[in-house]
Structure 1
Amino acid sequence: MDARFLGIAELVEAPSVAVVVDVMRAFTVASWAFARGADKIVLAGSLDEALALKARHPDWLALKDGPPAPGFDTVNSPGLLRSMDLGGRTVVQKTTAGTVGALAVKEASLVLCAGFVVAEATARVLRTRGCNGVTFVITGEDGQAEEDLACAQYIARRATEARTDAAEFLRRAAASRAAAELAKGVRQGAHPDDVALCLELDRFPFAMVATSEDSLMVLRTCAVPDSTDAAAS
């Protein structure tokens, strides 16, 4: 598999297949939202768009980075979201990196959004669909986020080598700037368990695919082929 690892600003054309990685915390949060029963996640392009969507759909749940703010139901924290009942709900998500990265590649034929919690499921989709050229979008820190790069490289390796050991990739993510800032409380709207939750390898069995629906970029869970498929052997 030909894998490229690019920051958002380096995307000069729409890739055929894109894996948008935001470990801490957008797509870990999205994974938890689905695990807590969410039906779909609308990726908003701005805070104003998120609030406008919420105003038109009062039953939707809106979340954002940083501290709580008027109009938003919660913040971008897996530790806070994991106790919420989102059964059948639509979530509107706006973050500084993950949602921006997904919207930047909305013209791609396949857009997967990922973190460590759905790493194997994401790699399995790439394997079984025979994706030869994949662009991994490193969303954090202008493409320099070590936790996102480590996760992207791990998924790329797993897509071709099913027995890849995750330990070194997780170690890099745990030592990242984002992990340190979350642990020290530098980033607002966080829970003490956020770092640990973001580093839970393969916590969930699904992948997440973003597609355009009625002019919106919508994230949904994706059925993942059985792990015994021939490509994984």
Structure 2
Amino acid sequence: MSTAAVGSTPPVAIVTGGSGGMAPGIVRGLRGAGIAVVITARDAGRLAAAAETIGGDCLALASDARDPASIESLVAAVLARHGRIDVLVNAAASSTPISGAIETVDVAALIADLDVKVGGYLRYAQAVVPAMKRQGRGHIVNIGGLTGRSSDTLSGLRNAAVSHLTKVLSDQLGPAGITVNAVHPGIVRTPHLAELFAEMAHAENTTPAAIEARFVAEIPTRTILTPDDVGAMVATLAAAARPTITGQSLTIDGGYSRGIFL
């Protein structure tokens, strides 16, 4: 039995970072699994535009990952409308990497970055867990990133922290039938990726196509992911009928990362 078949009403998911580039693919994946979706983000205007782009019955409710009161209001609104919360997909994050010489790193910016992603993930989890415990089941999927496995950018430590947070939550929530997993996407074709390729091309006096070709050559499958690829992985975890996969950090990158993780 899938999650979609449990109960008299369809299961419900909250997707944070709902105005981001991966949100449409995540929403499509969840819908394909029979899950109703509520997207949320801080900027109400961008969130409404995202909901219009996604289309269908996609409820958009603003909330701020840094503000526990706004998150509690969001959860209360979802419960008032649907009566349940079955899935939380944490994807809210700043898109600006923090790097550079250690002597000049903006520590305040780094802490603020962690507050949005790591602190935000924990705040949303704190808010939905009581409802999931009452239901006796639930799935939390934390979107991380492969920068947590390299030293390229200092802000990659947020993704290492996401893996740690995921494992801690899975230990605590497993007895309640709640799974918690992290998904670490590789190179995904989003508007942010196009901006990155353009910036790199400008710096190297070449073309975005040449930059993309260089990255593709380093991927064993020679394929850049799409948001729908990420959404399919998220949906697999979110629609699991039994709490068998939990506490895991799962990579979806076409083989781009070369580390061996047991």
* Structure number with larger C-alpha Rg: 2
More helix by share: 2
Q: Same fold (TM over 0.5)?
A: no
- Give the TM-score, by structure 1 length: 0.31
State the structure with bigger RCO (CA 8 A, min sep 6), 1 or 2.
1
Structure (1 or 2) with the greater strand fraction: 1
